[in-house]
Amino acid sequence: MNDAELARHRVFASAPLAARFAETRIALRRLLGSLLDLPPNEVRIRVGPNGKPMLAEPARVWFNVAHTDNASLILTGRALVAVHDATFLLGPAFCAAIGNGLILGYLMFRSGLVPRRFAQFGMLGGSLALVTALLVLFGAYDQTSGASFVLTLPEAVWELSLGIYLIAKGFKPSPILYDAGARAGVDGPLMPMLAAADAAVPLVAAP
């Protein structure tokens, strides 16, 4: 708040009224800042001819907070809900679909560390999860709807089954698990059975 708003805030005889005034002005500055593409502390508000707040610089934005009572807090509540929905869509939807589904599935497919059909299923699940995330983003349906659940289910099955498969069987033998030639990692052989097999083969000099 600016100096004039702080001075008005201090003259309120009732603490609840003072808190409501401060919360309303803070929420108003955040909303106006998002509309004007300005930080909230750079939004300049002045008192108009009738004592009502208005923007100091001319702008095609009109507002009124008179007689709002506690209804002004609805703005803050809805803003927090919008932030929650956006982060929930970004994390479990987009990040899981791209990272856990498409990228991880593609890496497993190219490396051969898991069965190829299994990795293809992971890429399919990531693609479907990405499609439903885009549909939710553009308002086709809600993220908690039945359609979203059906399209996200393959991605969830892929993530769960991949963990169970690796615990039960581990990685398949693949050239990516050892260095070319020496078949040893930085801290020793990544696959001891391959290193042992190489050591057991006698080296015969060419005639």
Q: Quickly tell me which residue has 């201090």 as its tokens.
A: 10
The residue ranking higher by pLDDT, 46 or 111, is 111
Query: How crowded is the C-beta side of 122, counted as CA atoms within 13 Å?
Result: 27
pLDDT digits (tens, 9 = 90+) for 99-108: 999 999 999 9
Radius of gyration of the chain (CA): 30
pLDDT at 141 over 70: yes
Which pLDDT belongs to residue 203?
46
Whole-number average pLDDT of the chain: 76
pLDDT at 200 over 90: no
pLDDT at 199 over 60: no
The answer to whether the beta carbons of residues 124 and 154 sit under 8 Å apart is yes
3-state secondary structure 44-97: CEEECCCCCEEECCCCCCCCCCCCCHHHHHHHHHHHHHHHHHHHHHHHHHHHHH
pLDDT digits (tens, 9 = 90+) for 151-192: 999 999 999 999 999 999 988 887 776 655 444 445 555 555
> Of 3.60.15.30, 3.90.470.20, 3.40.1030.10, 3.50.30.30, which CATH number belongs to 3-67?
3.90.470.20
pLDDT digits (tens, 9 = 90+) for 44-82: 777 777 667 667 776 666 666 655 555 555 556 666 677
Which pLDDT belongs to residue 122?
94
The residue ranking higher by pLDDT, 123 or 191, is 123
The residue ranking higher by pLDDT, 13 or 65, is 13
Which pLDDT belongs to residue 185?
46
Which pLDDT belongs to residue 206?
46
The answer to whether the beta carbons of residues 65 and 24 sit under 8 Å apart is yes
Which pLDDT belongs to residue 44?
77
Chain-centre distance for alpha carbon 168: 31
The residue ranking higher by pLDDT, 85 or 202, is 85
Where does the pLDDT of residue 198 fall: very low under 50, low under 70, confident under 90, or very high at 90 and above?
A: low
Residues in the chain: 207
Strand partners, 55: 45
Which pLDDT belongs to residue 109?
93
Which pLDDT belongs to residue 192?
54
Residue 152: CB atoms within 10 A of its CB come to 23
